[in-house]
Structure 1
Amino acid sequence: MFEKQSKKGNLIGRSLMAAIFVVLMTVPNTVLARIPNDQYFSELWYLQQINAPAAWDYSLGMETIPIAVIDSGVDVDHPDLAENIWLNTDEMTHDGIDNDGNGYIDDLYGWDFIDHDNDPRPDLDGEYSVLGANHGTISAGLISAKGDNGIGIVGVTWQSPIMVLRALDSMGTGDPDDVASAVDYAVDNGAKVINLSFDGPINSLRLATSLRRAYDRGVFIVAAAGNAPEDGNAIDLDREPMYPICFDRDSSENYVYGVAATDTGDQRATFSNYGAACVDISAPGNRVISTQLYLPGDFEFDEPYGGYFKGTSVAAPLVSGLAALMFSLDRNLTPKQVTNIITETSTDVNQKNPEYVGRLGRGRIDAAKAVLKVTELRRKPPIETYVPTSALTPDGTSNRLVVTSAGPGRDPEIRIFTEDGLFVRSFNAFPVGFRGGVSLALGNFDGTRHSSIVVGALAGGGPHVRIFDLNTKPIGGFFAYDFGFSGGVELATGDLDGDGLDEIVTGAGPGGGPHVRTFDRRGNVIGGFFAFDESFIGGVDVASGDLNGDGLDEIIVGSGFGGSSVRVFSARGERLFEFKPFGDDYTTGLQVDAEDLNSDGRAEIIVQGKRVGDLGGVAVFDGTGHYVGRGGSIPSLYASLTNWNFQQSKMMTVWGSLMGESPQVTLSSPGRLNFSFSAFEPSFRGGVRAFVIE
C-alpha cells in the first residue's frame, strides 16, 4: 500500500471506486544511480534493523519456495531479479499450448489477470503512474533481489523465486475478483507465500474465500496495513477496516498476517494505519531502496534502482521474505507456525509507541531470532549414543546423508545431517583442542553401498588419516607422510584399479613438496609421485574421477598458493595433461573436484579458487581439460550450464562454503539450487567441506 506519484506528479487519493483497491507508497523525485558490487547494501538500514545478515547465516532462501507477488507486475528482466523469477518448468516456451493443463497458456513466469495473457510485466500502453508501474518490482526486490551478485541491492531472501501475478494496473488500482483469481493461481501452482501490498474498503467475499483456501492449503499470506490518505490521518482499522488485511478480524483463524510500518527508531511511521484486530506485526517502512522497472533509454524508467520509498507496502515484503527464509529451513511449517514464530520472536515496540500499545501488532520482526527458532524446532540435539548403521545408511527409501567437516578455527568436529539439513549426529575426528581444520572424503571400501568417512588433519596436525564408519566407529588410520610433517593432508577417494573398491589419494599441504600418494584402506602404500617441481611448497589439492570412461579413476591435482596449474595423472602417476584454468596470473590456489555432471559416464573437472572473493571463481572442464563453463560461484556456474546437457544428470551435488564465508552447505539437483543450511555456528568463517551419501 503506497501513496504513489503519478506521471504528472499528482498524488492518487484514497477515494476510489467501490470495487477498486489502491496501492500506497511515497517516493521522492530523486533516484540513486546504479553502483556495482552490491554497494547499496550499506544503505539498506532496514535489513540491519531486522537482523537479516544474522538470519542469512542459517538460510539464504531456496528455489523451491516460491513467493507470489500479486501487484502491478514485475520487471522479469531486471538484472537484480531475473535469476530469481519463478519459472513454470511444466510449460514449453511460447508454444501456444497449455502444456501443464492448468488453464493458462505459456504461463512461464506467472499471469496477467487484467489483460488475461502470459505477460505479467508492468503495462505502459494505457494510463500509468511511474510509481504504479514500479510498484510490483519494488516489492519483488525487497523480497528477493539476488544476493551477492555484485550489483544493486539484496532482498531478505537471496534466491527464492518470485511468482509474478499482475492483478493491479499501472495506476496501482485493481478489482478484488482479479486479485482472487491471482490468489487461486498462486495456490494451485505451488506458492508458499503470498504478498499483498495494497488495501481497499471493499469486503469481497470471493477474495476472502480465496485467501482462506490458500491458508488452509499451507500458504502464508502477508498484507499491508495501508497508509494515511494524502489529506488525512492514518486510519484506526478497528474502527474503519480495510481489506485484505482485515478479512480475518472476526475469524477463529488468523489467516491474513497484517503488517504496519515503523521508522528507524521503531516508532510507528506517521503514515501507517494501525489496529489491534487487523495488524499482527510491524516492519521497517521508511527510507527504503529497491529495484524498479528498468527500461534503458526511457527517461522515466532508465534507472534500475530507486528510493527512498516509504509505505506499509515496503514493510510487508520484508515479512514475506522472512517467511520464505523460514520455509526454506522447514518446508513443512504451517502458516500458523510461521505466524506464531514471527510474532513470538519479534522485538517489542510498545514502549516506544505508548499511544499505540497493541495496535502495531506484537512487535517489529527479528529475522535472526525467527529463523533460529525454526532451526531449534527442527534439529535434534547431538546424539552421543550408538546409532545402528541401518538408521543412517540410505536403503532406497530413506534420505541421503550429508557429511560435513570444518576448516581452521574450531574443534575437529564432523557433523552428519539429512539432505533436508536435519542434524543426525556428530563426532570429533581428532582430539579436542586441535583447531587446524579437517579434510574430508567418503569411500566405499567393502563393496557395499555403505560409505566410510575418511578424514585428514590440516595445517598444524600430523599427517594423520583416519577412517570411520557411519556410526562414527574408527575402522582404520595411518600417517600419509613423515610423522614430523605438519602442513596438512588433502584427501580424495576413487577406484584406481577397477576392482570396485576405493583407494585413498593424499596430497601434501603447504610446506612440503607437492607429494601425492595412494593407499588402500589399511594404509598400505600403493604408489606416489610429485605432481609439480619438488621445490614447490604451496601445497596441493587432490581429486579423482573417471575422465575417459575406462572404469579407472584418474588423479586430478590442483596447485596451491603460488601455482596456477591443474595436472591430471593416471593411477600409476603418469602425467596425462595439464591446463591453467584461470591463466598464468591466478596463483591464489586451486581447489579441484571431479563429478560426472551430465551422466555420460565421464567425469568433468571442477576448479574453484580457495577463498571467498578470489577472482578465479569456479569453472568446469571436460575430461581432456577443455573449457565447458564458468561462474563467479557454484550456483552461477550451474546457471551457465543450463544450455549444456548438465540437466540430463539425475545426481545431487553438494558444496560447502569457502574460507571467509558463513558456514553454509548447499545441495543442488540438476539446474536448480535446492537447499542451504548452516553446518556450524554462524560466526565460524573457516570454511566447510561437505559430501553427500547417495
Structure 2
Amino acid sequence: MRNIFLLAIFLFSSFLFFEITYAKTLDDPFVEQWAYTDINVYSAWDYTLGSQDVVVAVIDNGFDTFHPDLFTNVWKNVDEISNNQIDDDKNGYVDDVWGWSFVSRDTNSDGLIDESEERGNNNPRPQVDQFTESEKNSGVFNHGTLVAGIIGAVGNNKKNGSGVSPNVKLMNIQVVDEGGSGSFARLPDAIYYAVYNGANIINMSVVGDITGDVEKAIDYAYGKGVVMVAAAGNSASDLNDFPLYPICFDAGKETNKVLGVSAISASHNIASFSNIGSNCVDITAPGENIFSTVRYSPKYDLNEQYTGGWSGTSFSAPLVSGAAALIKSIKPNWAAKNIYKALLSTTHHTPSTDEDVYSNLFGTGLLQIDKAVQYALNEVENSKFLKNIIVVNGDNGDHTSWDFNTGDDDKVLRERALSGIDDFSFYQYLGKTFYVTAKSFDKTRWRISLYDADWKKIDSFIIEPGGEISILVADVMGDVQPEIVVAPKGPSNTLFDIYSLEGEDLYTHILENKHNGVSFDKFKTEGSNKYDLVVLYELDDKLTMETLSGEGFSKNKFFLDSFSKADKVSVMNLDSDDQMEYVVGGGLGERPLVVFYDHDGSIIKKFLAYGSYKKSFSFIVGDYNYDGEDELVTIPKSNDQPVRVWNKEGKKVAQKYFFTDFKTNNIISVPIS
C-alpha cells in the first residue's frame, strides 16, 4: 500500500506574540501574527473579507467541524438530510451533511473492514476518544484543524484569531487518519468529491508517491476551474531530484494546475525543513511559528481552542488558499488560471544574483495578498460572463430573471423599490452585489437610490439634470470604489455627470453645443485600472461615437452614417483580441438594426434584431455560453417581443419571452455577472 503522510509539524516551546499595526481592525484577540503582517493580510482586508459563496475544500486528516471559531464557516450539504440513511442528493455518499471521511474504519467493531467501511463514513472530524497521552502530546490530530483555521477561522467574533479569509465556507474531507497516515488511493475520490459538491479551491497539505488516478482527478478539477494548492513537504529535499505529489503533478508541463508552496522563516530565509524545487514550487509563504485553531474537546482534556508555535509547509499552503478565497470573492467567475496569475504576478521578489537558485527556493516569490487582491479588483476581463439577467417591469416593480446556465426563469416577484423607476444598474464591490435606481419626481428632479442585494436601502440623494436620464455604475475614476455616471436622454450641453456613491458631484463633461440625447456604456482596456465610457450622441445632425475617460479625455471618435437615429451603444470583443469593437442599435421608430463597427468606424456586420418591430430595445454584451466569446443580448422595451441572444456573426442562438400575462412598454434589464 502506498502511504501518504501529513507534513511534519514542528512545535516551538514558547508562544511569541507581536505588536503589529494593520489597516482593517478585527476584534479577535489573537488576530495579530507575523505571518499575516509579512504577506499583508491586514491591508487586503480593507478590500474584502471574503464571501460565503466561496467554498474551500480542506483535504487533510479532518478538521474540528464544530469548533467555536470554525463552525459558522463550515460547509454544510444542504441537499442531504442528516442521519436518514439515504443518499438524498444522489452524490454517492449517504448522510454526508458535514463532508466525508475516506479513511477506512471498523465502525461496527467486528474486526473486519467490509465494503461499506472501506468507502468511508460521514464523520470527517478527528476522532479523539481513544487517544493515549502520547498521541495527544504529538499534536498530529490537530493538523487539519490548524489548516482550516488558517484559511477561514471566523473573524470579528471576539474569539481567538481569524483566518486569511474570515468569511468563507470550509469543506471537511478526511483522507488520512488522526495519526497522519493513509492510502494515496483515496485522494482522487476526495478531489472528485470536492469538485462535485461545489468546491472552488482545494487545499492539500499532504504529500506522497505518484498515482495516475490522482493526476486524472487533478486534470478534472482544473478543467472545472478549481484552484488547487499543495504543500512542498518538510524533508529539506530538492523536489527536482526527488519529486513528491500532488505538488509535482504539473512539473515539466506547460499548464500550471497545482500551486506548490514552500515555507520561509520570519527572517525571510527558506525554512530549514522546507522542500524546494523550481519544477514544483511556485510561490512561498510563512511557515514557522504559525497560530491557528486546534481540535477542541474538553471532554477528552483538549481544552485549548487556539495555539501557536506550529511550523511546516502544511501551514504555508493554507495562507495561499486563503488568499485565493479572497480573490474568488471579488472575481467569482475567475477560473484557476486567472487566480494563479493574480497570486504569482504580485509576489515580493527580492532581486537575486542567481535567479535559478531563487526560483528553486521561492518560486516567483513571497505571497503578497493585498497586491493580489488589488490586481483582481483592477484586472481587465475582455469577456464578461453573464450568469443571468434581471428583467423588470418598471411600471409596477415586477421582476424576474433568466438564468443563462439552466435556461430557467425565476418566478415573478414584486419589489417596491423598483416600482415606477426609470432606470437601474448594479455593481459588485468587495464581492457583494448592490443596486442603484433612478426615479423622477417631475422629469427635472431625480432620486438616485442605493440598495443591497436584498433591496434594503443604503442611501439616496437628489439630482436635478433637467430632463430624463440613464445611469450606470462603474469605477471610472480609478480609485477602486465605483461611481454613478448619469447621462441625459434629451437635448443638453451636458454629456455626462459623475457622482460618488454618497452623491458628491465629481465631474461634469460639457459640450459647446447641445446634443439631442446620449446613450452610453462602460468598458475596460488592457492594462487599465478603471473603466472608460463609450458615448453615442447626435450633434449638429451627426451621430457621433466617442470613447472618453472618466476625466473627460477623448480617446477615439468617429461619425456614423448607417442610422438616422440610434439610441444604444456598447462594446463587444468580436475577434478575441485585446481591443474592443463597437455595437450600435437603432432608436425608437427606426428599424431594429444592430451594427458592429471597427475602431475606425468601418462596418463589420449588420442585422435586424426584430422583423418589423420599431419600438425601442436595449442590449447587453457578455459571454452567454461561457465559450470565451462575447454574445449580444437584445431586450425589447415591449414584452410582445422576446429577449434574444446573438453571436458575433449575427446569428440568433437563444430567445425567451417575459411577462406574457400582461402588456407593458417599460421593460428594463441589467446583467448579473
Please tell me the TM-score bracket, short chain as reference. 0.5 to 0.7
Q: Could you tell me the TM-score, scaled by structure 1's length?
A: 0.54
Say whether 1:55 aligns with 2:44.
Answer: yes
Aligned to 1:223: 230
Shift of 1:173: 1.4
Say which of 118, 121, 124 aligns to 2:125.
121
Say which of 417, 427, 449 aligns to 1:418.
427
Q: 1:476-495 deviations in whole A, cap 9, x for unaligned? A: xxxxxxxxxxxx99xxxxxx
Aligned to 2:335: 334
SS at 1:66 equivalent: strand
Aligned to 1:211: 218
Where do 1:259-408 residues align within 5 Å? 259-299=261-301, 301-349=302-350, 351=352, 356-359=357-360, 360-378=362-380, 396-397=400-401
Shift of 1:250: 3.0
Where does the alignment leave 5 or more consecutive residues of structure 1 unmatched?
1-16, 229-233, 381-388, 401-414, 427-439, 456-462, 476-487, 490-691
Contact 2:61 2:143 in 1 (8 A): yes
Aligned to 1:666: none
Contact 2:7 2:313 in 1 (8 A): no
Shift of 1:353: 8.9
Shift of 1:94: 2.5
The range that moved more, 180-189 or 329-338, is 329-338
SS at 1:358 equivalent: helix
SS at 2:52 equivalent: coil
Does the C-alpha gap of structure 1 residues 61 and 339 become closer, same or farther in structure 2, counting only changes over 3 Å?
Answer: same
Shift of 1:326: 0.8
Q: 1:521-558 deviations in whole A, cap 9, x for unaligned? A: xxxxxxxxxxxxxxxxxxxxxxxxxxxxxxxxxxxxxx
Shift of 1:30: 5.5
Contact 1:70 1:167 in 2 (8 A): yes
Contact 1:287 1:310 in 2 (8 A): yes
C-alpha RMSD over aligned residues = 3.9
State the percentage of identical aligned residues. 35
SS at 1:70 equivalent: strand
The range that moved more, 134-143 or 254-263, is 254-263
Q: Could you tell me the TM-score, scaled by structure 2's length?
A: 0.55
Say whether 1:252 aligns with 2:254.
Answer: yes
Q: 1:498-518 deviations in whole A, cap 9, x for unaligned? A: xxxxxxxxxxxxxxxxxxxxx
Aligned to 2:201: 193
Say whether 1:137 aligns with 2:145.
Answer: yes
Higher strand share: 2
Q: Distance in 2 between matches of 1:453 and 1:39?
A: 41
Say whether 1:165 aligns with 2:157.
Answer: no
Q: Which amino acid aligns with 2:374?
A: L
Does the C-alpha gap of structure 1 residues 333 and 424 become closer, same or farther in structure 2, counting only changes over 3 Å?
Answer: closer
Where does the alignment leave 5 or more consecutive residues of structure 2 unmatched?
18-25, 106-119, 383-390, 404-412, 414-423, 451-459, 472-485, 490-501, 504-670
Shift of 1:75: 0.6
Q: Distance in 2 between matches of 1:474 and 1:425?
A: 23
Q: Distance in 1 between matches of 2:221 and 2:52?
A: 20
Q: 1:71-107 deviations in whole A, cap 9, x for unaligned? A: 1111111111010000111112322221111011111
Shift of 1:211: 1.3
SS at 1:53 equivalent: helix
Contact 1:416 1:424 in 2 (8 A): no
Q: 1:167-189 deviations in whole A, cap 9, x for unaligned? A: 11111112111222111100111
Does the C-alpha gap of structure 1 residues 390 and 442 become closer, same or farther in structure 2, counting only changes over 3 Å?
Answer: closer
Q: Which amino acid aligns with 1:57?
A: D
Does the C-alpha gap of structure 1 residues 171 and 339 become closer, same or farther in structure 2, counting only changes over 3 Å?
Answer: same
Say which of 44, 47, 68 aligns to 1:79.
68
Shift of 1:165: 0.2
Aligned to 1:453: 448
SS at 1:133 equivalent: helix
Q: Which amino acid aligns with 1:96?
A: Q
Shift of 1:464: 8.9
SS at 2:298 equivalent: coil
Contact 1:70 1:195 in 2 (8 A): yes
Q: Distance in 2 between matches of 1:155 and 1:141?
A: 5
Contact 2:47 2:430 in 1 (8 A): no
Q: 1:612-637 deviations in whole A, cap 9, x for unaligned? A: xxxxxxxxxxxxxxxxxxxxxxxxxx
Does the C-alpha gap of structure 1 residues 394 and 179 become closer, same or farther in structure 2, counting only changes over 3 Å?
Answer: farther
Where do 1:485-524 residues align within 5 Å? none
Q: Distance in 2 between matches of 1:422 and 1:291?
A: 26
The range that moved more, 466-475 or 328-337, is 466-475
Contact 1:350 1:363 in 2 (8 A): no
Q: Which amino acid aligns with 1:305?
A: Y
Q: Distance in 2 between matches of 1:41 and 1:272?
A: 25
Contact 1:31 1:303 in 2 (8 A): no
SS at 2:173 equivalent: strand
SS at 1:179 equivalent: helix
Contact 1:167 1:179 in 2 (8 A): yes
Say which of 184, 196, 199 aligns to 1:176.
184
Q: Which amino acid aligns with 1:250?
A: G
Q: Distance in 2 between matches of 1:25 and 1:350?
A: 31
Q: Distance in 1 between matches of 2:322 and 2:225?
A: 16
Contact 1:330 1:378 in 2 (8 A): no
SS at 2:139 equivalent: helix
Q: Distance in 2 between matches of 1:224 and 1:142?
A: 14
Shift of 1:240: 0.8
Q: Distance in 2 between matches of 1:314 and 1:330?
A: 25
Q: Distance in 2 between matches of 1:352 and 1:25?
A: 32
Q: Which amino acid aligns with 2:173?
A: L
Pairs aligned (count):
409
Q: 1:243-266 deviations in whole A, cap 9, x for unaligned? A: 111111132321111000012232
Q: Which amino acid aligns with 1:64?
A: D
Shift of 1:25: 1.7
Q: Which amino acid aligns with 2:3?
A: A
Does the C-alpha gap of structure 1 residues 93 and 445 become closer, same or farther in structure 2, counting only changes over 3 Å?
Answer: farther
